Amino acid sequence: MHIRRLGQSMQVSAIGLGCMGMSQGYGPNPGSREDMVDVIRSAVDVGVTFLDTAEVYYGPYVNEELVGEAIGPIRDQVQLATKFGWDIQDGKSVGLNSRPEHIKKVADACLQRLGVETIDLFYQHRVDPKVPIEDVAGTIGELVQAGKVKHFGLSEVGADTLRKAHATYPVTAVQSEYSLWTRDPEPEILPTCAELGIGFVPFSPLGRGFLTGALDSSASFSQGDMRATIPRFQAENLSANQSLVNHVRDLADGKGATPAQVALAWLLAQAPWIAPIPGTRKLSRLQENAGATEIGLSADERADLDALAARVGVAGDRYSEAHMKLVGH
């Protein structure tokens, strides 16, 4: 597995592992908790050592506890990212909260659930408009000084806020949705990251499963599957978007690869400071995703994929209207 650098000093595997789906988001898990522990531990065997979770993921807190159990015997082999920023009361998220005292409280709770002494990368999950980003960045600086956090990250942030945060305390990585059919970071965020020397971590790099080629307009989503509420996954939009994934599949077939591997290889080719974190609940998919680092794309193939979304169009928003209001601040 290739190694990439985020920010000035954080070294991570080129392909990471988003752990959220092991606990929530995509309907009932076909595997047991023990199976998920095995998948996380097996990730290290294929070189996937960059793990991503968050306090709010299912329950909340359940996903962090799962990851904490899994990494017990492999802590020194992984880089661990988690997130703060939600106001969680009586087991439910009731809004945003990035007040400094709350961030410190969450950091201590995350350390306990994960069973670690230090969080490698601590993201603000969503920007809290009620708290100046300079206060957030300063608080992370204090946590770094205390040895509880190593690196500062921001998720779904806007370019102006990113600049303000970075001027207060260095931002190591920005995490946002980015894939062949979600190109939102390209106009402002990616150029800002390049200018400031900040890494970029795409979540949902396989379009929540669409870019694997496993979904079509007949797909149905069970209760608890977040895709049932996302406009892009409505039947008419899945049908309209099919030509995009068909194009990726044709390219993959010519390379003896899978559509998922081509989609990830395209992301890796965008910049050496990009490290996508596809999620999976299956060891076979984990191995498939790791293999993307061996897929080469020619300049012509890259240019073709760069223009694909604009050429064929993408139908449907990536989030509900309410959720979209939380991004890009």
**Catalytic (active-site) positions:** 57
Q: 151 by DSSP, 3-state: which?
A: strand
Token representation of residue 55: 């306090």
3-state class percentages of the chain: helix first, strand second, coil last, to nearest 5: 45, 20, 35
In whole angstroms, give the CA distance from residue 327 to residue 127.
8
Q: How far is CA 292 from CA 107, 139, 142, 228, in A?
A: 33, 37, 38, 28
Q: 218 by DSSP, 3-state: which?
A: coil
Q: Kind and range of the H or E element at 13? A: strand 10-13
Token representation of residue 282: 């299956």
Q: 182 by DSSP, 3-state: which?
A: strand
In whole angstroms, give the CA distance from residue 150 to residue 119.
6
Q: Find where tokens 């809004």 sit.
A: 95
- Which contacts qualify for 188-194: CB closer than 8 Å, 24 or more apart? 188/158, 188/159, 189/157, 189/158, 189/159, 189/162, 190/270, 190/271, 192/159, 192/162, 192/163, 193/162, 193/273, 194/271, 194/273
Residue type for position 276: P
User: Any bridge partners for residue 177, and if so which?
Assistant: 203
In whole angstroms, give the CA distance from residue 40 to residue 16.
11
> 95: burial class by Cβ within 10 Å (0-12, 13-18, 19+)?
exposed
- Based on its alpha-carbon atoms, the radius of gyration of the chain, rounded to whole angstroms, reads 19
